[in-house]
């Protein structure tokens, strides 16, 4: 340490500066004026006052004189990695390196030999030609991805940490090439160069963030009965199709690819046809980072051909799309028509920003300016509806116009430019049309409204005042620099107006009143709400929309959830009085609007039990109106404390138990299951309702770390009106599975029971009213699927539909949801579940488990173990003992306590099962027992066993839903896994073995939502249940079952 004396400040400044160096300096004084004077005079890159070496990432660091040039850290640190030009565009200096299709880590020309042009939006001129991917190229990419996802591929055998390391390597490569990538992005997308640089760094940071999750995607162990051990695994979905937009080409690529790869999936990505160049360059970096061939495939092409090929492809397991609502609907519809692939959508918005009367007007103007005009307003969350309190309205408009007029529009390579061009001619013309419509509708044009220059697609920052809610510019997404400023007087009024839109992506509030802010946060129907700032997106905070702004979430822990699956004779009927046959709406009984009824049949006799009112579209409309009223923010139901909801649910559960004798008889009469099984269903239903009652005050959001002046938290909010369509095989239990989580989360319900079995649901309606649920919270509308079920699926005011039933109908439900209002969809569909009996199994035990797995409930189970794979060493003995047990099974009157198997549900199902039996005989399977009807009345079929069954036989491939056991022989475990997974279904699976390692290996390799080891169909309320592949998507039961019934709202509050 060298200590030097000084006497005057002029002297010390001269001496301090007398050096060839100029890296840093410090001053210690209580005199602030003196300190600032010395700061100004010291020739150093950093000067610290009353501290030293106070380096911070946001503050630039670097030297004067021979201490170097350039800066590190902060925004200035970015400037070392791009070139700036005062006037001439640098566009011509960007070399285009990749223009072909990237499949299997190789470059390919398009199968059709065609290319398409990519344009520079600054000039409207062509940059280059890019290979045009179509269905043939997507097929090729799928084959590569399929191979990369095989169970023994290198990618599937990577440790989670290894996947994370590859993502970090890709992040490093993005940073290394930031100069080139940012220029390429600006050239192709028209984004200003500073923003492009920021996007590259943000993309790298996102990769780093998600990479950190790779070894933290944990399942759970769940409490269970003695002798059982239940755990969940989070497994990759498979092949993920991803379609990204043109406004943030690189960032959207990373938002989609990163969580998919972290979870172990493989990807086929289609970049927007307007902006494919950065994605193709990233393909080369993905290969350089070391990702195995086929893990990421990038296929440029247009939406109607290339995008459609992804949406409809039978071998793509999940699709993620960011773009317009119109296209999002088509994608969900296509996914429903094809293989019921999982769908997540991040769509458009018409986001409100509410400026309260206590806001700092200058701050509010700055925030609103950025919220709308950033990236030429080509942002899905753009605050295109600015609601300003009447007390500050005129001042806000005046200052906003002043700021907008100063905004620099022009060459995006110029560092002074704040706003570049719109993306293309069609978007440019569309925006100008919206501006004209604003003028014609009577909005007051305050500034802008015209193109800038005579080349490219530049538009002046445009502001309209006196905008009304019914004007086109206030209702439709413009995706251009048009600010609509609307006046409001009261907060009740502004919330109603802000929410009056089919969109719900984002919203903002500017106020100094924290209580008001939090109240508005709760009431705004949007996936993200920012307080005293806007568009404060962070990787750790989930992002996604309410309503038609999409479903699913990107970013944060929630973003990962989109990319993994979770793996769990004459009747002696007593006289049963039928008490309720009408439609239940608003806690009242109604006749059908069309005056019609339909018959309900006793499957034990084929005779009519009663007539039930036939609900149609008009009745569903009436039920939805009641539900909407019950869901109003000021309704009693919405004001209940969580514990009050739980108490109502517990009361309902106790009423089910109270009436178990009557309900079990009613269920047996209507459904045909044995009365003991019906009793078990009632108690299980009560337990399920009670289980979810215990969750009501435990549905918590998260607080998320953010900047020092930010509070970030998530809220889990009810979706709204939930349509629920339940099946006939477990009428009451399926009702409980759907009602429980929906009510726990605070939703309201319109439920359609199966037309074959509506009676127990209608009796439950009376119990729901008796329990004290407010009118309109639960509404039950019996009717057929074509009319009543379809009315629920297409209804514009139903926010979510949950369906359990066949794959065929499930596809129609998802299509209908897409065609209407993009309601959320969860599906629990069919299965063709394998049960694998290993050679070390205890044969008697295995026979008993297999018997129960197929014949329970007359095999009318979605998880029925209808493909029994038996090792060749024990095959003959297993078949012989199974036949013996089946022949002793008692089939008959379900009210008789000795009966083990009742009838099939109806004549059509009865005939269908007999036709499957005939097809098996013709295909060469050996009929070991059964194969014919039992008795001469009702729909009874003898327990049937076929041996010698081959994988290609109809009975081994299609869901029968009847008492037909197919026993298939296998020799090796590799072979049986491949055969067991060789189906479009993936609901349940079982393994019987004494070798625990083998059992757990099979559990890992079987593609099914639930795998049972040394047991079968061991369903319990705390363990999630649902399917892989075409067996549906979404989960019922457990904590995961709740996630189907709430929206995640991200709230970011800036402390000002």
Catalytically active residues, by annotation: 346, 380
d(CA 696, CA 653): 15
d(CA 588, CA 590): 7
Strand partners, 984: none
C-alpha torsion angle, residues 245, 249, 251, 252 (rounded to 10): 20
How many Cβ atoms from other residues are within 10 Å of residue 577's Cβ?
7
d(CA 393, CA 919): 76
Q: Of 140, 146, 148, which Cα lies nearest the Cα of 110?
A: 140
**Taking CA 573 as the corner, what is the angle to CA 572 and CA 578, rounded to the nearest 5 degrees?**
165
How many Cβ atoms from other residues are within 10 Å of residue 603's Cβ?
29
d(CA 604, CA 194): 75
The 8-class DSSP code of residue 953 comes to S
C-alpha torsion angle, residues 255, 257, 261, 265 (rounded to 10): 120
Residue owning tokens 């009577």: 442
d(CA 926, CA 944): 11
d(CA 219, CA 419): 46
Cβ proximity of 685 and 659 under 8 Å: no
Cβ proximity of 419 and 408 under 8 Å: yes
Q: Of 136, 132, 137, which Cα lies nearest the Cα of 118?
A: 132
How many Cβ atoms from other residues are within 10 Å of residue 698's Cβ?
11
Strand partners, 869: 836, 968
Biggest distance spanned by C-alpha atoms of the chain: 118
d(CA 238, CA 268): 11
Determine whether 732 is exposed, middle or buried from the number of CB atoms within 10 Å of its CB (0-12, 13-18, 19+).
buried
Residue owning tokens 């285009």: 96
Please tell me whether residue 175 adopts helix, strand or coil conformation: helix
d(CA 878, CA 843): 6
The 8-class DSSP code of residue 760 comes to H
The rounded Cα 344 to chain-centroid distance in angstroms is 4
For 225, 702, 869, 1011, 1037, the CA distances from 1019, given in Å and listed in that order, are 11, 29, 22, 10, 9
Task: Return phi, psi of residue 929, to 5°.
Answer: -165, 165
């Amino acid at each position: 340490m060298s200590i030097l004396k000084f006497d005057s400040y002029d002297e010390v400044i001269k001496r301090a500066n007398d050096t060839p160096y100029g890296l840093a300096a410090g001053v210690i004084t209580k005199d602030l004026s003196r300190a600032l004077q010395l700061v100004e005079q010291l020739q150093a890159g950093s000067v610290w006052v009353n501290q030293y070496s106070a380096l911070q990432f946001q503050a630039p660091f670097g030297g004067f004189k021979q201490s170097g040039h350039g800066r590190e850290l902060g925004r200035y640190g970015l400037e070392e990695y791009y070139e700036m030009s005062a006037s001439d565009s640098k566009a011509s200096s960007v070399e285009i390196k990749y223009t072909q299709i990237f499949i299997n880590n190789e470059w390919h020309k398009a199968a059709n030999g065609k290319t398409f042009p990519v344009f520079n939006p600054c000039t409207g001129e062509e940059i280059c030609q890019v290979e045009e991917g179509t269905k043939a190229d997507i097929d090729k990419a799928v084959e590569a991805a399929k191979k990369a996802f095989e169970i023994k591929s290198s990618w599937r055998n990577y440790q989670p940490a290894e996947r994370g390391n590859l993502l970090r390597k890709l992040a490093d490569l993005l940073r290394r090439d930031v100069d080139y990538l940012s220029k390429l992005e600006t050239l192709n997308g028209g984004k200003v160069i500073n923003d492009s640089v920021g996007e590259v760094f943000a993309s790298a940071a996102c990769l780093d963030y998600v990479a950190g999750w790779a070894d933290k995607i944990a399942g759970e162990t769940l409490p269970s009965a003695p002798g059982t051990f239940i755990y969940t695994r989070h497994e990759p979905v498979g092949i993920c199709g991803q379609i990204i937009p043109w406004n943030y080409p690189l960032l959207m690529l990373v938002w989609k690819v990163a969580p998919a790869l972290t979870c172990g999936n493989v990807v086929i990505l289609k970049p927007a046809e307007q902006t494919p160049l950065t994605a193709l360059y990233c393909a080369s970096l993905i290969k350089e980072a070391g990702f195995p061939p086929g893990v990421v495939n990038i296929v440029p092409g247009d939406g109607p051909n290339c995008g459609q090929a992804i949406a409809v492809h039978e071998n793509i397991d999940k699709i993620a799309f960011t773009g317009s609502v119109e296209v999002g609907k088509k994608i969900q519809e296509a996914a429903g028509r094809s293989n019921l692939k999982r769908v997540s959508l991040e769509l458009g918005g018409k986001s409100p920003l509410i400026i309260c009367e206590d806001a700092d007007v200058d701050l509010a103007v700055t925030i609103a300016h950025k919220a709308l005009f950033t990236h030429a307003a080509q942002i899905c969350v753009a605050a295109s509806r600015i609601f300003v309190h009447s007390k500050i309205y005129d001042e806000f408009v005046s200052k906003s116009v002043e700021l907008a007029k100063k905004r620099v529009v022009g060459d995006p390579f110029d560092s002074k430019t704040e706003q570049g061009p719109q993306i293309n001619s069609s978007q440019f013309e569309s925006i100008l049309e919206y501006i004209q419509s604003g003028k014609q509708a009577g909005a007051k044009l305050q500034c802008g409204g015209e193109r800038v220059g005579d080349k490219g697609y530049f538009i002046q920052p445009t502001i309209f005042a006196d905008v009304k809610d019914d004007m086109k510019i206030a209702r439709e997404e413009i995706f251009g620099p048009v600010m609509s400023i609307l006046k409001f007087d009261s907060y009740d009024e502004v919330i109603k107006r802000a929410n009056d839109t089919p969109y719900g992506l984002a919203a903002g509030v500017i106020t100094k009143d924290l209580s008001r802010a939090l109240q508005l946060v709760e009431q705004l129907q949007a996936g993200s709400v920012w307080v005293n700032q806007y568009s404060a997106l962070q990787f750790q905070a989930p992002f996604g929309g309410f309503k038609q702004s999409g479903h699913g979430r990107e970013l944060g822990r929630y973003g990962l959830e989109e990319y993994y699956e979770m793996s769990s004779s004459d009747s002696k009927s007593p006289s049963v009085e039928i008490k309720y046959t009408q439609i239940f709406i608003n806690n009242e009984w109604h006749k059908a609007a069309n005056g019609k009824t339909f018959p309900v049949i006793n499957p034990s006799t084929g005779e009519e039990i009663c007539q039930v009112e036939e609900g149609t579209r008009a009745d569903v409309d009436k039920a939805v109106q009641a539900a909407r009223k019950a869901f109003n923010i000021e309704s009693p139901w919405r004001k209940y404390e969580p514990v009050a909801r739980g108490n109502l649910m517990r009361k309902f559960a106790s009423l089910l138990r109270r009436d178990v004798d009557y309900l079990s008889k009613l269920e047996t009469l209507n459904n045909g299951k044995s009365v003991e099984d019906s009793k078990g269903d009632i108690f299980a239903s009560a337990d399920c309702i009670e289980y979810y009652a215990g969750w009501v005050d435990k549905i918590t959001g998260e607080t998320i770390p953010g900047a020092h002046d930010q509070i970030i938290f998530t809220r889990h909010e009810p979706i709204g009106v939930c349509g629920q369509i339940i099946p006939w095989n477990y009428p009451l239990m399926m009702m409980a599975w759907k009602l429980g989580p929906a009510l726990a989360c605070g939703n309201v319900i319109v439920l359609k029971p199966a037309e074959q079995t509506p009676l127990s649901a209608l009796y439950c309606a009376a119990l729901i009213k008796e329990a004290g649920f407010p009118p309109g919270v639960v509404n039950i509308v019996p009717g057929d699927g074509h009319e009543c079920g379809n009315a629920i699926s297409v209804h514009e005011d139903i926010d979510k539909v949950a369906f359990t039933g066949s794959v065929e109908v499930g596809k129609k439900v998802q299509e209908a949801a897409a065609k209407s209002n993009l309601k959320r969809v969860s599906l629990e569909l069919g299965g063709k579940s394998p049960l694998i009996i290993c050679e070390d199994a205890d044969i008697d035990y295995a026979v008993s488990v297999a018997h129960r797995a197929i014949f329970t409930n007359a095999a009318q189970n979605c998880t029925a173990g209808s493909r029994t794979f038996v090792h060749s060493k024990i095959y003959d003995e297993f078949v012989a003992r199974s036949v013996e047990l089946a022949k002793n099974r008692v089939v008959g009157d379900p009210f008789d306590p000795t009966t083990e198997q009742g009838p099939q549900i109806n004549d059509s199902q009865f005939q269908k099962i007999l036709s499957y039996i005939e097809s098996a005989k013709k295909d060469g399977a050996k009929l070991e027992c059964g194969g014919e009807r039992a008795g001469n009345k009702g729909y009874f079929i003898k327990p049937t066993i076929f041996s010698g069954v081959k994988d290609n036989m109809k009975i081994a491939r299609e869901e029968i839903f009847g008492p037909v056991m197919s026993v298939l022989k296998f020799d090796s475990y590799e072979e049986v896994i491949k055969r067991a997974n060789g189906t479009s279904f993936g609901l349940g699976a079982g393994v019987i073995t004494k070798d625990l390692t083998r059992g757990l290996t099979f559990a890992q390799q079987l593609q099914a939502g639930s795998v049972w080891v040394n047991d079968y169909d061991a369903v319990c309320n705390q363990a999630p249940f649902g399917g892989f592949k075409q067996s549906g998507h979404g989960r019922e039961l457990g904590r995961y079952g709740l996630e189907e019934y709430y929206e995640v709202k991200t709230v970011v509050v800036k402390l000002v």
